[in-house]
Structure 1
Amino acid sequence: MMTEAHPADQADILRRAAENQARLTAELEPAYDFIVCGAGSSGSVVARRLAENAAVQVLLVEAGGSDEAESVLNPALWPTNLGTERDWGFTAEPNPHLNGRALPMSMGKGLGGGSSINVMVWARGHRSDWEHFAAESGDARWNYQNVLDIYRRIENWRGAPDPSHRGTDGPVWVQPAADPSPIAHALLDAASELGIPTFDSPNGRMMESEGGAAITDMLVRDGRRQSLFRAYVQPYLDRPNLTVMTGATVERIAFEGNRAVGVDLLHGGARTRIGARQEVVLSMGAMQTPKVLMHSGIGDEAELRRVGIPVRQHLPGVGANLQDHVSFGCTWEYAEPIAPRNSGSEATLYWKSRPELTAPDLLFCQVEFPVPSERTAARGVPEHGWTMFAGLAQPQSRGRLRLRSDDPAAALQIDANMLSDPADMTAALACIELCRELGNARAFRPLVRGEVMPGDLRGEALKDYVRDSAVTYWHQTCTAKMGRDSMSVVDGSLRVYGVEGLRIADGSVLPRVTTGNTQAPCAIIGEQAAASLRAAHQL
């Protein structure tokens, strides 16, 4: 069991860590053994695991800044980070399948990345996801049983004991939402009314089956957010072999021949190159990782030539296969105001759009306040209410990222392409039908005045509501996928095809988006990358 530091000792540790990092960043080395680009949900894991070997010098580079902010640490304040300096602030192109709407696509920028601004949900993905990844990569290390073992090893689980699924000695503090709202319990009761099973946790048997409902697992400890940066990196900030550099934007990978030997970055208004003696790891997420690859000459040959970038390695899958969970908010008005608790999202449900499916393809996160889109807000939003933030767990639509120019400062062109596949509209209609059945079930009647939207819409009117209400779950992934076909970018060890000394460890390597929130799978990606690096370099 992990031991707890006395508050006075903890303050001393934090002081020593701050002094150490100030010293290390003031005297940057010309080269490190490993450079990890991005201190988010995967990069934090990779940096920590490499730095566990005291003989290895690790540089962790982050474009954003510190996570020392009440808006980060207070679980209830997560929405206040959206659109700030802690958000990359991406915007997709206008989408004809969403009535011409251009969706904002937030992604975390700062220590912790998405794990510092997200809703703190810990969702492992379904058994079928991991079996699919193992098949795509041809690598059994990605199968469900092996990944389950990793989850058990990294978790410090605080809920009901479940030794076959949960671990209690790891760095990641995971707990069920504390003292959930009556509205969260009502969702579980409504699911039972409809014959959907309920579970003690969404991360055990529930995601080995057709789905179900449960109180959400969260990365919250003593009422404070526990990001993956804080779980993995913060305890190592006093080590002399781990340097964390903030405010540094990676523009390109430096090469000698076909080997990555460092990174070119912008820091404090100046451009500099820092060398990597062993490997460079890109962990910047599904937008920034392919962007840096393309600016480094790795990507689709025709796309690179279009913007005048010399081709180093033709990999047409870079920037392709963009996936995201798309949500359609259905809203109810409270009979009496009920204040949100924890993060304001304490119950989750996974289920099927068609009875013949053997795994869930729909994802429901209850939000304890209204969450309209910019378009559906015009329909009238109750002052006090709750939203079924429900959507497609396995969308069929695929988007694409493109460069606008050879300037690394230029914004990406993001064609998210949501709902372009007709199967997604069919699933969306089933999703909204199930939302309405749940929200109008007996379990909610003492708590709500009634349904606000969508109401009893049919045919084209309901499809129009889908297009107007669609928003992102902020689970952008899959733009540098792992696999063995011509569109794959990395192999099962996360090495970039055709070049040496370069790996990717973030959500972009997923062949398809996982069933559920993506934070926990990104921790697994970090663990897998670190294990491969340690084995390759005999660390």
Structure 2
Amino acid sequence: MNSYTSAMHTADFSRRVEHNQRQLKARLAETYDYIVCGSGTSGSVVARRLAENLDVRVLLIEAGGTDEVPSVTDASQWFVNLGGERDWQFQAQPNPHLHDRAIPLSMGKVLGGGASINVMVWSRGHSSDWDYFAREADDPAWNYASALATFRRIEDWQGAPDPLRRGTGGPVFVQPAPDPNPVAPAMLRAAASLGLPVYDDQNGAMMEGPGGAALANLCLDDGRRRSIFRSYVYPLMAQPNLTVLTHTHVLRVLLDGKRAVGVEVLHEGKVIRLGARHEVVLSLGAINTPKVLMLSGIGDTRQLNAQGIDVVQDLPGVGQNYQDHIMVSGCIWEYQHPQPPRNNAGESTFFWKSDPSLDVPDIQTFLAQIPIATPEAQAMFQPPAAAWSLLPGLVRPKSRGAITLASANPMDAPLIDSAALSDPEDLQALVRAVEFCRELGNSSAMAPFVRREVMPGAMSRKALESFVRNTASTVWHQSCTAKMGRDAMSVVDSQLRVYGISGLRVADASIMPRVTTGNTMAPCVIIGERLGSLLTQTAEAERETASARPMGRAFAVQRERAVD
């Protein structure tokens, strides 16, 4: 047990955290040095790095509640949270490319955000993703070499040593799936029989080349989730300089001219204003971050005018460039002999190229040890409970959607046009991926685990296209709606500063220029670490500047008022 986590496992420390946070919440300050909005992956990292300096007062705001519940802590229960109180329960608009289905888009609404309800897979992304980020930002601090150095520093890797790519002793506990269900290594043998290389490590050399198969890297230990919030923020919650405020909705950023000076939030039934002496950080996720930006007058002028919102900064890229990984749910086989799921029920994965001419993989598939299907597929195929799934997902989508405001009411969910499969190439890539998964699932290596193929079975190309449209669903990797870059549609620069607004930065998956190749939790940690480094490097200068600046007019009004 390393220094990051040892304190968390004592009852005395838990009591001190509870007592300290109760006192801090009972006497909320009017101003903090930094306000971090959202306790998800990136937000937790930023809050941690800021709060390590005891002279810096940090407020971390979360709309959801506690993560101390079995459905979060028990790694095998992750799916129980989907659609429940710890889920924002967003839903995309009906999509003609998905037979007019309106797919649910789960996002974490709990301490820890998505990392408290996700499948706990640690996937760094392909090396080419980070080099692309660096080119888009014109900043080598985002390239693969830089990201790799950070990964090595923050990981506590429990697998085979790889001093070039893995580190130990950091806050993020990662290990290959321990004691996997026998069907997981069988999938690796099946992949090898079809020509895919098999690796010891999902995040090693495999993600620097054309793909391959491996046991998944997981952030769980002894059946318990090791979330980013618990690894980064919780060990500091007994400190007097870190306030973690739950059940609090961020309504908008408060601006004094073109400077962010705080946030307006809904807390305990009242709207209150909280000031930030130095900076506000939005880490609300790729749906809520653009929503709050627009509600604050930052976004496309035409959209804001349509909602009667005064325009502070015209940034047409806010809410645009929406991307997500779309998977087929799913290709299913009935077990020959039922096997109970282990760990997170998704212990093996492979990356594959749907077109051999591609330079890097565009498909990632997980073997799930349970049947996973959309309602439409369930009604048609009626998969049995004792079944396993192959879930091919598109990790380099060409389709682009958008987030727009439904109204100027902060409590209304935004409109989400996922545009999934709107680009014909995305559909064809997933069709080829389903064909490959059928070949793998029906291979001799998988025969000991197969009584019968449940779905899709042999189909014509036209029928298979319809099958993909009926089974396409999200992998919960919403991203890219406030992208980092230098073109007219970029929202933040290489230091994650919102263009045209001082004192406001964004740190979450929304800043990605394109979605990374694989699960997004690990890249979001890098985003948080990057901003944490930037803020801590300049914190002293920021404090000196702020001490000479009078409080903005945003606070020359009544601080608290009843909700209308």
TM-score (structure 2 length as normaliser): 0.94
Report what 1:45 is aligned to.
45
1:95 aligns with 2:65: no
Report what 1:512 is aligned to.
514
Q: Quick one: distance in 1 between partners of 2:110 and 2:8?
A: 27
Q: Deviations over 1:122-149 (max 9, x none)?
A: 0000001001000000010000000000
Q: Quick one: distance in 2 between partners of 1:116 and 1:304?
A: 33
Report what 2:306 is aligned to.
306
Report what 1:256 is aligned to.
256
Structure 2: which 5+ runs fail to align? 542-564
Q: Quick one: distance in 2 between partners of 1:96 and 1:7?
A: 52
Structure 1: which 5+ runs fail to align? none
Amino acid at match of 1:353: S
Q: Quick one: distance in 1 between partners of 2:102 and 2:321?
A: 19
SS in 1 for 2:10: helix
Amino acid at match of 2:218: M
Amino acid at match of 1:196: L
**Does structure 1 retain, via aligned residues, the 8 Å contact 2:4–2:231?**
no
User: 1:404: how far off?
Assistant: 1.1
Correspondence list, 1:108-257, <5 A? 108-257=108-257
Query: Could you say if the C-alpha distance between residues 251 and 496 of structure 1 is closer, same or farther in structure 2, counting changes exceeding 3 Å?
Result: same
Q: Quick one: distance in 2 between partners of 1:429 and 1:147?
A: 33
User: 1:410: how far off?
Assistant: 1.2
Q: How many residues matched?
A: 539
Query: Could you say if the C-alpha distance between residues 472 and 195 of structure 1 is closer, same or farther in structure 2, counting changes exceeding 3 Å?
Result: same
User: 1:538: how far off?
Assistant: 3.9
**Does structure 1 retain, via aligned residues, the 8 Å contact 2:279–2:504?**
yes
SS in 1 for 2:274: strand
Amino acid at match of 1:259: R
Q: Quick one: distance in 1 between partners of 2:523 and 2:305?
A: 34
Query: Could you say if the C-alpha distance between residues 464 and 230 of structure 1 is closer, same or farther in structure 2, counting changes exceeding 3 Å?
Result: same
Report what 2:340 is aligned to.
339
Correspondence list, 1:386-405, <5 A? 386-405=388-407
**Does structure 1 retain, via aligned residues, the 8 Å contact 2:4–2:170?**
no
1:26 aligns with 2:26: yes
Correspondence list, 1:421-432, <5 A? 421-432=423-434
**Does structure 1 retain, via aligned residues, the 8 Å contact 2:172–2:228?**
yes
SS in 1 for 2:375: coil
Report what 2:375 is aligned to.
374
Query: Could you say if the C-alpha distance between residues 254 and 519 of structure 1 is closer, same or farther in structure 2, counting changes exceeding 3 Å?
Result: same
User: 1:455: how far off?
Assistant: 0.8
Amino acid at match of 1:346: E
Query: Could you say if the C-alpha distance between residues 315 and 9 of structure 1 is closer, same or farther in structure 2, counting changes exceeding 3 Å?
Result: closer
Q: Quick one: distance in 1 between partners of 2:371 and 2:365?
A: 15
Query: Could you say if the C-alpha distance between residues 4 and 86 of structure 1 is closer, same or farther in structure 2, counting changes exceeding 3 Å?
Result: closer
**Does structure 1 retain, via aligned residues, the 8 Å contact 2:5–2:171?**
no
User: 1:3: how far off?
Assistant: 4.5
Q: Quick one: distance in 1 between partners of 2:5 and 2:175?
A: 20
Correspondence list, 1:402-441, <5 A? 402-441=404-443
Report what 1:502 is aligned to.
504
SS in 2 for 1:537: helix
Report what 2:355 is aligned to.
354
1:471 aligns with 2:473: yes
User: 1:9: how far off?
Assistant: 7.1
Q: Quick one: distance in 2 between partners of 1:255 and 1:423?
A: 43
Amino acid at match of 1:468: N
Q: Quick one: distance in 1 between partners of 2:511 and 2:243?
A: 25
Q: Deviations over 1:25-52 (max 9, x none)?
A: 1111000000000000000000000001
Amino acid at match of 1:321: N
Q: Deviations over 1:216-245 (max 9, x none)?
A: 111102221010000000100011111000
Q: Quick one: distance in 1 between partners of 2:366 and 2:509?
A: 20
User: 1:5: how far off?
Assistant: 7.5
Amino acid at match of 2:173: W
Report what 1:537 is aligned to.
539
User: 1:537: how far off?
Assistant: 2.5
User: 1:2: how far off?
Assistant: 2.3
Q: Quick one: distance in 1 between partners of 2:17 and 2:340?
A: 38
Report what 1:456 is aligned to.
458
Q: Deviations over 1:55-110 (max 9, x none)?
A: 10000000000000000000110010011110000000000000010000000001
Q: Quick one: distance in 2 between partners of 1:536 and 1:298?
A: 25
User: 1:536: how far off?
Assistant: 2.7
Query: Could you say if the C-alpha distance between residues 8 and 132 of structure 1 is closer, same or farther in structure 2, counting changes exceeding 3 Å?
Result: closer
**Does structure 1 retain, via aligned residues, the 8 Å contact 2:5–2:235?**
no
1:524 aligns with 2:537: no
User: 1:383: how far off?
Assistant: 2.4
Amino acid at match of 1:350: F
Give the RMSD, CA atoms, in angstroms.
1.2
Q: Quick one: distance in 2 between partners of 1:411 and 1:223?
A: 34
Query: Could you say if the C-alpha distance between residues 465 and 152 of structure 1 is closer, same or farther in structure 2, counting changes exceeding 3 Å?
Result: same
Query: Could you say if the C-alpha distance between residues 5 and 225 of structure 1 is closer, same or farther in structure 2, counting changes exceeding 3 Å?
Result: closer
User: 1:450: how far off?
Assistant: 2.1
Q: Quick one: distance in 2 between partners of 1:52 and 1:5?
A: 15
Q: Quick one: distance in 2 between partners of 1:410 and 1:8?
A: 37
